Amino acid sequence: MGNADFERPHPVVIPPAKSFLHSLKSGLKETLLPDDPFRQFKNQSASKKFILGLQYFVPILEWAPRYTFSFFKADVIAGITIASLAVPQGISYANLANLPPVIGLYSSFVPPLVYAMLGSSRDLAVGTVAVPSLLISSMLGKVVNPHEDPKHYIQLALTATFFAGVFQSALGILRLGFIVDFLSHATIVGFMGGAATVVCLQQLKGILGLVHFTQGTDLISVMQSVFSQMHQWRWESGALGACFLFFLLLIRYFSKRKPCFFWINAMAPLTSVVLGSVLVYLTHAEKHGVQVIGHLKKGLNPPSVSELAFGSPHLMTAVKTGIIIGVIALAEGVAVGRSFAMFKNYHIDGNKEMIAFGMMNIAGSCTSCYLTTGPFSRTAVNFNAGCKTAVSNIVMATAVMITLLFLTPLFYYTPLVVLSSIITAAMLGLIDYEAAIHLWEVDKFDFFVCISAYVGVVFGSVEIGLVVAVTISLLRMLLFVARPRTFRLGNISNSMIYRSMDQYPTANSVPGVLILQIDAPIYFANANYLRERISRWICDEEDRLKSTGGPTLQYVILDMSAIGSIDTSGISMLEEVKKHTDRRGLKLVLANPRSEVIKKLEKTKFIETVGQEWIYLTVGEAVASCNFMLHTCKSKRASVQESDAQENV
Amino acid sequence: MGNADFERPHPVVIPPAKSFLHSLKSGLKETLLPDDPFRQFKNQSASKKFILGLQYFVPILEWAPRYTFSFFKADVIAGITIASLAVPQGISYANLANLPPVIGLYSSFVPPLVYAMLGSSRDLAVGTVAVPSLLISSMLGKVVNPHEDPKHYIQLALTATFFAGVFQSALGILRLGFIVDFLSHATIVGFMGGAATVVCLQQLKGILGLVHFTQGTDLISVMQSVFSQMHQWRWESGALGACFLFFLLLIRYFSKRKPCFFWINAMAPLTSVVLGSVLVYLTHAEKHGVQVIGHLKKGLNPPSVSELAFGSPHLMTAVKTGIIIGVIALAEGVAVGRSFAMFKNYHIDGNKEMIAFGMMNIAGSCTSCYLTTGPFSRTAVNFNAGCKTAVSNIVMATAVMITLLFLTPLFYYTPLVVLSSIITAAMLGLIDYEAAIHLWEVDKFDFFVCISAYVGVVFGSVEIGLVVAVTISLLRMLLFVARPRTFRLGNISNSMIYRSMDQYPTANSVPGVLILQIDAPIYFANANYLRERISRWICDEEDRLKSTGGPTLQYVILDMSAIGSIDTSGISMLEEVKKHTDRRGLKLVLANPRSEVIKKLEKTKFIETVGQEWIYLTVGEAVASCNFMLHTCKSKRASVQESDAQENV
């Protein structure tokens, strides 16, 4: 190859410049509409477009006409199953949020109806969730005491729900749903585990029958609070709680091993409530230290538009709480909807789901409901019970409506300790230590993020944990960007292929040529680092060649295949690298600059600086050309030396 | 190729797993010590190591022994030149910071001496700078009025300087200097331009001889303040200011065109001060509305350790101010040091420079100096005057010392308006509209960042501008990461090379095979997007093939060359893509997974899911194999159809 005249067969193409407006438009489209929701509107008549648009925003219009009786049968069974879960869970979580238990029931009536119309998931079961409930009690409890001023506290909770809904819809409408993606999987595992631990700790109040309890949610305050009141522990309450917890965990254990136990598991919470209430009624345990729910108001959700406390001095706290619980609810709801859609092979538009969640919470806040989303546990039960469409939510809402209208007196004797057991059992399932172990095995940094979130929640507070986790995730991403990897490439034997010598230790280095690959886009955040790193590579290579007595370094090839984009700081960096190599008498060669990069290199005249002839399509061609030049120079030098020698002679 | 039995020549190698500690160590080293500062300590004796270490932290020990008389001559000339700049600039900027003018002179005495010992730049000239001066007056002026309680105000300014120094050293010692890199070039251009505009606006007070002036720094308050006091404009002051400004700008204009005017330009500020003072002295203009500096205390810097106001109620403001001005001073100083080191081809360790700046400011705050750094203008003069080492700083400090000891009375008649003209002339040079135009041409988003910073500073405040610019820069980086580009690859004629069909429109698509390239590492922030985008590519390709009546899609090849790393969310994404392709009856093929990626794919058993035989080293080999399979299937199918047809017959 060296002897033949070298010809460069494949030119690097500079794509034609696109107008600014065109690239702005395509950039915005890629950012905000990555899933191309308007695809179906193409080439349709105006009336068809209107109908499609209506169906897009109100999916029930799309699937209702295709609804069949066999679907209905399946949905009724699933709906009743989740209703049996919704009633005790609703009461329990309302209790956790320091709200009247009946609000938990209200929240399982209106929001599911709204979601059934607007939501696009076929499996999602709507309901209240533990972590936002806890957040409401801890964040709002700081400014208004729920026991001293319950009316104001409820108003703030409804207001927070309203703002959560507004925030959720706004994210969806502005198509900024990808913000939720910044909560990484590792963050969520750690955060949920921590929150579940904290919620379990809070249940010690109910299980031990304590009257006074710390306002803090961290492990240390709870433990202090529990152990400083050992003389006030109620053994009746504790024993009852332990029994029910054991019962619930045992059933879950069996249902996991044998799918035929599924129904028993789904019905277990309601069974516990019924058993507990009957037990208390028969033994009059409410007079012996077992706290009961007491009177529940009969009747459907009262309207609550006038309760939204926009004039409250604590409005900002409500807004802040609303945004945080809104994001957490979205993260859970969207992830749950997506996972089950994956199972059944249909598609969910995350932004549209956010609008549905938002509308559901706005409607909820006007009808005495607090924050709802699509909890994983209830959705899994819905899915396992064989639901076909969102009609199962309507069935659940109907069942809850019947409960609200006629059955509330039955809950008078329900002991609080049973509710605590139900929450604890549900929460223990959320501590996903297996996922944490998996993170440790696959990615230590992800594990660190996860544990930080967990520790932040358990030893600080839910907000601290969330802030810590998001900050670490973002820092990690900034670090990813700020410290890209660089590799030295070598030739894979018997080929024109060049790969990292780190990964392919048998790859051969090319004498006199240093081939570097940069593994990330070059931005302001990593430009300085890369400049330092490249000059270090060059120094190291020169040292290595000196110590081995090999030929001196002549060429530095930058493989730009992995550099997807570059900004002005990145281009300055390349200019500095060029100066640096020039000063050391090295030739800088570029291989495979990508379209974004080559466009900018052309605009800044960097191509002229390097020389058009030093830009190649592949590393292989660049090396071949360098080898050819090296050979020519060597033979020239050799002939010069020869003639010198002859002259000297 | 299709007919011959296909053999895969180059296997993809999974590099051996490294121990956790090993990768943690190398990761930390790459993050914190990218420039390998310990390189020189390798293979040295203990005493040699100690000397090298001492020389590392106190570079003067390294270069002083090699110092020659010819260096000294050059340094004396440069030092006197920058001293002639340091005296008027020091007084002017102290004035801008609402501090007594003499503090500006103090600040050109101690800090340059400290820097000469600890700094590693040979060209940097130490001095006060405009933007931090303005920030001191606007941030500290909010809590303490400099005219009503000057003592407390000075104490706060010194305390802020102290914390700036501590923060700077801490960044350097912890080797977190890369934080400064997150201020992108575009941000700095916009921010500096905006700050220069704001500083110029502030000079209207001095030039128009106004006594009352707004505390705000934004364009609107300043314009209101100026035009509401039109009857109080002093024409004497205005005329004098305009003359000097014209004089300074004219000289700069000529010195830019002819290098021989350089000395005149360097001496112009001092000349203006002398001319202005003589003029005022002769005409007694101080009695006709031209404000003068007045009495300047004689003598060297008094110690000020006891002045540091750690007990002040406004300590937090001082800390906040310190951190902000510390970062801005670092950004300017480090960038200036680096650029001039580039010119002269020596290396500067950014983190070490930060320690030097920090020490200089800590020492300064204990000797009545306020914040100093390496200003671009003064360093450029130093460089042009032919400085050789940091001794020029020592010469400047000596000249300032002589001024402080003997010459302060000479400044009694110096008119403030001349100082305003000097600042304005310096600031007008900082508004780098050419850089902004360049940004517009090369990268529209960078231009947007730049303009946002500018508008934020000019219409909001310096802090708002900085926050806006940093936020937009970070958002941009998150967007970069959240929305990586994906490309469809095609075959370059007469080769095994596959490149983006966007960039190489002549590249040919391969029938039945979709080749996608992902242009960035896969993280939690882009995993969802990429999943959606890949399924959209597949849909689009199937639609295209359907409409053109081509062969159906059979293979999806993911070119992973540009995927430098992946996290657990990214792996889940790949698993989902695999499920998606399986459901559509497509085969997923991976090409060139990199070492970080393949390790994780192996750990999570994704390699088994895809099948080891479907992972290739290059796209070319993957396509060849797909083509081979397609051909075999087709001929099989054809023979089956043939036999079917025969049976039917």
A565 contact residues in B (CB cutoff 8 A): 480, 485, 519
Which residue reads 């060296």 in tokens?
A2
For the residues B182-195, what does the mean pLDDT come to?
84
* B538 and B473, same domain (yes or no): no
Question: How far, in whole angstroms, is CA B463 from its chain's centroid?
Answer: 17
| CA angle (B513 as vertex; B561, B526 as ends), nearest 5 | 45
Contact B418, B272 (CB under 8 A): yes
Q: Residue A261 — pLDDT band, cuts 50, 70, 90?
A: confident
A527/B495 Cβ within 8 A = no
* B274 and B324, same domain (yes or no): yes
CA-to-CA dists, residue A340 to A77, A343, A383, angstroms: 19, 5, 8
* Residue B132 is assigned to a structural domain of this protein: yes
The length of chain A in residues reads: 649
B181/A524 Cβ within 8 A = yes
What pLDDT does residue A203 have? 86
Phi, psi of B5 (to 5 degrees): -60, 130
For the residues B455-479, what does the mean pLDDT come to?
84
* A490 and A473, same domain (yes or no): no
B532 contact residues in A (CB cutoff 8 A): 34-35
Residue of A184, A342, A618 with shortest CB distance to B524: A184
The length of chain B in residues reads: 649
What pLDDT does residue A171 have? 92
Tokens of A186: 């590792």
| CA angle (B517 as vertex; B511, B520 as ends), nearest 5 | 170
Closest CA to A376 of A416, A328, A442: A328
Residue of B478, B495, B564 with shortest CB distance to A477: B478
Write out the DSSP string of A63-128: HGGG--HHHHHHHHHHHHHHHHHHHHHHHHHHHHTTS-HHHHHHTTTHHHHHHHHH---SS---B-
A572/B185 Cβ within 8 A = yes
* Residue B102 is assigned to a structural domain of this protein: yes
Q: Residue B150 — pLDDT band, cuts 50, 70, 90?
A: very high
Residue of A442, A481, A526 with shortest CB distance to B568: A442
* Residue B372 is assigned to a structural domain of this protein: yes
Q: How far apart are CA A271 and CA B200, in angstroms?
A: 77
Q: How far apart are CA B10 and CA B20, in angstroms?
A: 29
User: Residues 529-558, chain B: which have Cβ within 8 Å of A?
Assistant: 529, 532-533, 536
pLDDT of B622 above 80: yes
Which residue reads 């940004």 in tokens?
B439
Q: Burial level of A311, CB count in 10 A (0-12/13-18/19+)?
A: exposed
Contact B473, B490 (CB under 8 A): no
What pLDDT does residue B3 have? 39
* Residue A19 is assigned to a structural domain of this protein: no
Kindly report the nearest CA distance between residue B122 and chain A, in angstroms.
Answer: 19
Question: How far, in whole angstroms, is CA A202 from its chain's centroid?
Answer: 26
Q: Burial level of A543, CB count in 10 A (0-12/13-18/19+)?
A: exposed
Indicate the residue among A440, A457, A477 that finishes a domain: A477
Q: Which of A238-252, B28-42, B142-156 has the lowest mean pLDDT?
A: B28-42
Give percent of chain A above pLDDT 70.
96
Residue of A342, A474, A520 with shortest CB distance to B521: A520
* B407 and B503, same domain (yes or no): no
**CATH value at residue A582:** 3.30.750.24
Residue of B34, B482, B568 with shortest CB distance to A532: B34
pLDDT of B4 above 70: no
Determine contact: A345 vs chain B, CB below 8 A. Answer: yes
A342/B579 Cβ within 8 A = yes
Residue of A479, A492, A564 with shortest CB distance to B519: A564
Q: Burial level of B134, CB count in 10 A (0-12/13-18/19+)?
A: buried
What pLDDT does residue B302 have? 92
Residue of chain A whose Cα is closest to the Cα of B485 = A564
Residue of A10, A527, A571 with shortest CB distance to B492: A10
Identity of the amino acid at B448: F
In what order do the strands lie in the sheet containing B513-518? B498-500, B486-491, B513-518, B555-559, B587-591, B615-616
Over residues A100-120, the pLDDT tens digits come to 999 999 999 999 999 999 998
Determine contact: B517 vs chain A, CB below 8 A. Answer: no
* A399 and A521, same domain (yes or no): no
Indicate the residue among A423, A450, A477 that finishes a domain: A477
B568/A186 Cβ within 8 A = yes
Contact A523, A567 (CB under 8 A): yes
**Between B62 and A394, the higher pLDDT residue:** A394
**How many of the other CB atoms lie within 10 Å of CB of A376?**
21
CA-to-CA dists, residue A304 to A139, A151, A158, angstroms: 21, 12, 8
For the residues B409-417, what does the mean pLDDT come to?
86
B529/A34 Cβ within 8 A = yes
Q: Which of A22, A445, A568 to mutate to test the interface with B (most CBs of B within 10 A)?
A: A568
Which residues share a beta bridge with A589? A557
Q: How far apart are CA A343 and CA B263, in angstroms?
A: 77
What pLDDT does residue A4 have? 41
Q: Residue A5 — pLDDT band, cuts 50, 70, 90?
A: very low
Determine contact: B337 vs chain A, CB below 8 A. Answer: no
Over residues B323-349, the pLDDT tens digits come to 999 998 998 888 888 888 877 777 788
What pLDDT does residue B559 have? 93
Determine contact: B584 vs chain A, CB below 8 A. Answer: no
Question: How far, in whole angstroms, is CA B448 from its chain's centroid?
Answer: 16
* B365 and B321, same domain (yes or no): yes
DSSP state at residue A459 = I
Strands (E) across B426-533 are located at 486-491, 498-500, 513-518
User: Residues 132-171, chain A: which have Cβ within 8 Å of B?
Assistant: none
Contact B197, B205 (CB under 8 A): no
Q: Looking only at Cα atoms, what is the longest distance across chain B?
A: 123
* B158 and B99, same domain (yes or no): yes
* A465 and A493, same domain (yes or no): no
| Residue B420 three-state SS | helix
A23 contact residues in B (CB cutoff 8 A): 444
Q: Looking only at Cα atoms, what is the longest distance across chain A?
A: 123
Contact A561, A591 (CB under 8 A): yes
Q: How far apart are the first and last CA of chain B?
A: 35
Tokens of A18: 């696109």
Tokens of B86: 């340091």
For the residues B101-120, what does the mean pLDDT come to?
93
B520/A567 Cβ within 8 A = no
* A124 and A161, same domain (yes or no): yes
Q: Residue B647 — pLDDT band, cuts 50, 70, 90?
A: low
For the residues A83-90, what does the mean pLDDT come to?
88
* Residue A35 is assigned to a structural domain of this protein: no
Q: Residue B1 — pLDDT band, cuts 50, 70, 90?
A: very low
* B387 and B500, same domain (yes or no): no
What mean pLDDT value characterizes chain A?
86
B479/A31 Cβ within 8 A = yes
Q: Residue B631 — pLDDT band, cuts 50, 70, 90?
A: confident
* Residue A43 is assigned to a structural domain of this protein: no
Closest CA to A301 of A158, A131, A465, A447: A158
Q: Which of B21, B519, B547 to mutate to test the interface with A (most CBs of A within 10 A)?
A: B519
User: Residues 435-454, chain B: which have Cβ within 8 Å of A?
Assistant: 438-439, 441-446
pLDDT of A565 above 70: yes
Most confident of A305-314, A560-569, B161-170: B161-170
Closest CA to A424 of A18, A29, A130, A175: A130
Closest CA to A368 of A416, A332, A404, A417: A404
Pairing of strands A555-559, A513-518: parallel
Identity of the amino acid at B276: G
Which residue reads 């670092």 in tokens?
B330
What pLDDT does residue B5 have? 44
Kindly report the nearest CA distance between residue A537 and chain B, in angstroms.
Answer: 10
Which residue reads 């036999």 in tokens?
B643
Q: How far apart are the first and last CA of chain A?
A: 34
pLDDT of B450 above 80: yes
What mean pLDDT value characterizes chain B?
86
Phi, psi of A377 (to 5 degrees): -60, -50
Q: Which of A334, A594, A605, A621 to mutate to test the interface with B (most CBs of B within 10 A)?
A: A594
What pLDDT does residue B295 have? 84
Tokens of A219: 């492990």
For the residues A510-519, what does the mean pLDDT come to?
91
Q: Burial level of A168, CB count in 10 A (0-12/13-18/19+)?
A: buried
* A514 and A409, same domain (yes or no): no
Contact A557, A626 (CB under 8 A): yes
Closest CA to A594 of A8, A20, A9, A13: A13
Q: How far apart are CA A393 and CA A119, in angstroms?
A: 11
A350/B603 Cβ within 8 A = no
Which residues share a beta bridge with B508? B491
B524/A473 Cβ within 8 A = yes
B536/A36 Cβ within 8 A = yes
A494/B567 Cβ within 8 A = no
Q: How far apart are CA A143 and CA A137, in angstroms?
A: 10
Closest CA to B585 of B632, B552, B551: B552
* Residue B329 is assigned to a structural domain of this protein: yes
Kindly report the nearest CA distance between residue B215 and chain A, in angstroms.
Answer: 29
Q: Residue B649 — pLDDT band, cuts 50, 70, 90?
A: very low
B494 contact residues in A (CB cutoff 8 A): 9
pLDDT of A470 above 60: yes
Determine contact: B333 vs chain A, CB below 8 A. Answer: no
Q: How far apart are CA B595 and CA B37, in angstroms?
A: 27
**Helix, strand, coil share (%) of chain A residues, nearest 5:** 65, 5, 30
Phi-psi region of B464 (alpha: psi -120 to 50; beta: other; left: phi over 0): alpha
What pLDDT does residue A636 have? 66
User: Residues 161-220, chain A: which have Cβ within 8 Å of B?
Assistant: 178, 181-187
Q: Residue B125 — pLDDT band, cuts 50, 70, 90?
A: very high
What pLDDT does residue B458 have? 92
* Residue B36 is assigned to a structural domain of this protein: no
ipTM, two decimals: 0.81
B603/A502 Cβ within 8 A = no
Q: Residue B84 — pLDDT band, cuts 50, 70, 90?
A: confident
Q: Burial level of B238, CB count in 10 A (0-12/13-18/19+)?
A: middle
Contact B35, B348 (CB under 8 A): no
Write out the DSSP string of B136-191: HHHHHTTTS-TTTSHHHHHHHHHHHHHHHHHHHHHHHHTT-GGGGGGS-HHHHHHH
Over residues B50-80, the pLDDT tens digits come to 888 888 888 899 888 999 999 999 999 899 9
* A458 and A522, same domain (yes or no): no
Q: How far apart are CA B128 and CA B157, in angstroms?
A: 13
Contact B469, B454 (CB under 8 A): no
What pLDDT does residue A587 have? 93
Indicate the residue among A447, A477, A507 that finishes a domain: A477
A521 contact residues in B (CB cutoff 8 A): 480, 519-520
pLDDT of A634 above 70: no
**Between B44 and A123, the higher pLDDT residue:** A123
Q: Domain total for chain A?
A: 2
Q: How far apart are CA A545 and CA A543, in angstroms?
A: 5
Pairing of strands B498-500, B486-491: antiparallel
Q: How far apart are CA A364 and CA B482, in angstroms?
A: 33
For the residues A219-236, what does the mean pLDDT come to?
86
Identity of the amino acid at B147: H
DSSP state at residue A605 = T
Is the pTM of the predicted complex or chain greater than 0.90? no
Contact A370, A136 (CB under 8 A): yes
For residue B525, the enclosing domain spans 483-644
DSSP state at residue B459 = I
